[in-house]
Structure 1
Amino acid sequence: MTDQQKINLKVTKDEALVLFEFLARFNQSKHQDIFEDQSEQKILWILEGQLEKKLVEPFRPDYKDIIREARNKIRDEE
Structure 2
Amino acid sequence: MSDEKVNIELTKEEAIVLFEFLGRFNENENLSRFEDQEEQRVLWDIECILEKELSEPFQTDYQEIVKKAREVVRDERE
- TM score, norm. by length of structure 2: 0.93
Match of 2:39 in 1: 40
Post-superposition offset of 1:34: 1.2
SS of residue in 2 equivalent to 1:30: coil
Match of 2:16 in 1: 17
Distance 2:7 2:19 in 1: 17
Match of 2:48 in 1: 49
Q: Establish whether residue 65 from structure 1 lines up as the match of residue 55 from structure 2.
A: no
Q: Which runs of 4+ in 1 moved over 4 A?
A: none
What runs of 5+ residues in structure 2 fail to find an aligned partner? none
- TM score, norm. by length of structure 1: 0.93
Q: What's the % identity of the aligned pairs?
A: 51
Q: Structure 1 counterpart of 2:71, which letter?
A: N
> How many residues matched?
76
Post-superposition offset of 1:30: 1.9
Post-superposition offset of 1:20: 0.2
Distance 1:31 1:41 in 2: 10
Distance 1:10 1:35 in 2: 25
> How large is the Cα RMSD of the aligned pairs?
1.0
Post-superposition offset of 1:31: 2.3
Distance 2:13 2:47 in 1: 15
